Structure 1
């Protein structure tokens, strides 16, 4: 502001446009922040018929709930028939049936929990930053079209999951 003689100073400045927003909300300009820690999981299961919100973030929220319930049928129902799930430490898995079988195997092998830290949504994509109860971290990229996941890519450190403890 340039001050000139005879011009009064404003008595109260307007608050900055970032006032009252979290640092993540301020920094995120590519999409909307949908969730931020702490995550609160609903106490009841969401049936597929209740999934009326087809936006990517809503579909990923349902995915998290079904993942944490170790429900291979429920989670598979969120994928398109020709979907691809590529966890980068493994070969891509193609098709809803194969994706269901992958989750059934993984759920039978270990108790897995996804605690979302941040869920971003931009267009037909949702980006999930997550951790598990032991502090291991990863992120998932979901493409959602017509309320179904058509592509998922997951990044996590395989070696950290192989360490005992």
Structure 2
């Protein structure tokens, strides 16, 4: 599966809040680094991260742009509340090996009425 096709599937599963199926798109030793947070390493930990996030806030990924360059897919997204961000996905052997995401964590927390951590 080409990187762009895999990320289209990722968006569908993300919008369904399906942590189990999302985790299956990752290599066993994959890294998901949302740069506002510490990197999450390994498929099991990534699954748990998604499960916790879906339990914490209702999230929707609306694709604005989706590009492919070699083994990389680049996703520019927004959500219905106005948050915007982008993600970079390295896809090898049909699975996500590395994901980096860029978004404004403070805006996300405020939009969802979540506690803002003390510095």
Give me the TM-score of the superposition, normalised by structure 1. 0.67
C-alpha separation in 2, matches of 1:87 and 1:162: 14
Equivalent in the alignment of 1:162: 109
Deviations for 1:66-88, whole angstroms, at most 9, x for unmatched residues? 00000000100000000000000
**Aligned mates of 2:105, 2:37 — CA distance in 1:** 10
Larger Rg: 1
Larger relative helix fraction: 2
Alignment size in residue pairs: 112
Higher share of residues assigned strand: 2
**What does 1:89-100 correspond to in 2, within 5 Å?**
89-100=36-47
Q: CA deviation at 1:131?
A: 0.1
Residue number in structure 1 paired with 2:6: 59
Give the 3-state SS of the residue equivalent to 2:7 in structure 1. helix
Unaligned runs of 5+ in 1: 1-53
Map of 1:78 onto structure 2:
25
SS where residue 149 of structure 1 aligns? strand
What is the alpha-carbon distance in structure 2 between the residues aligned to residue 126 and residue 99 of structure 1?
A: 19
Contact residue 72 and residue 90 of structure 2 kept, 8 A? yes
